[in-house]
Homo-oligomer: A and B are copies of this chain.
């Protein structure tokens, strides 16, 4: 989650603060995820929160609690990967806290970012009639989880499921959308399209209507295969940007190398509908993403 820090403007900038847990057994499993993936995803969660406000990430703080018997090599690989992702975005690991964990690896990442004063993109700005867009493709991360759940002993090759193991936070895209004034409200798809759209609609006091045929579904695995609609609608942790376009603004087909797809419109009634291929609309319930619980 992310909040503005009111009253702390710095040379016309707002300070943004985000904090996100990464917990073993909830967000990752040590037998499924290499430490590099865990470190990357840990920081990517925070960077994605900043991206969804059109902000520029500045610094990260890591609180980490480790079981006594965890090999030091695991920690080294985790931290190096986290730092390496940060470097790509000019984000330094500026501090943190360490503790011993009673059970499993526990991490909390804090990312501090900035945006020009009064210009950060909120979830609450969507208005009826505006178009809804999503970046990239959806369901690719959840598809990897389904595979691992189905065959817990078989290790997946991270290269076949990059959006799960090494998601790319859409920092540049978010910044450009904010700079060009293209978007009225934005959120990242960390919990899944249905849940995150519900958050955006609730905070804006509006509803939405999506076209199922328009939802961009990820192709993953080897051989690559398009995911089911359900995964694209409800699967979380894709870290794409879901946003509404201001009236009269032309949204390009892609920005910063990321495809943008028009998937529906904002409506006045506070309900979210999905229109299927036959043109029948039914209510889309927000179905939370269940991570790695057995």
Interface positions of A (Cβ within 8 A of B): 1-3, 5-11, 13, 15, 17, 19-21, 23-27, 58-59, 61, 63, 65, 94-104, 106, 108, 110, 112, 114, 293
Contact = CB atoms under 8 A, between A and B. Distances in A.
Given A3-B95, A21-B99, A97-B1, A26 B104 contact: no
Contacts of A112: 5, 8, 15, 17
A293 B101 CA distance: 11
B15 A8 contact: yes
Q: Is the interface of A mostly helix, strand, loop or mixed?
A: strand
Contact of A97 (B5, B19, B101, B102): B19
A173 B232 CA distance: 55
8 contacts: A1-B98, A5-B112, A6-B94, A7-B58, A8-B112, A10-B11, A15-B112, A19-B108
Contacts of A58: 5, 7-8
B99 A63 contact: no
B26 A61 contact: no
B101 A23 contact: yes
A5 B98 CA distance: 19
A61 B20 CA distance: 11
A106 B10 contact: no
Given A3-B95, A19-B97, A100-B293, 6 more contacts: A1-B95, A1-B97, A7-B58, A8-B15, A21-B63, A23-B65
A94 B21 contact: no
B102 A25 contact: yes
A58 B281 CA distance: 48
Nearest to A62: B19
Contacts of A11: 9-10
A36 B114 CA distance: 34
A53 to B, nearest CB: 12
Nearest to A21: B99
A30 to B, nearest CB: 12
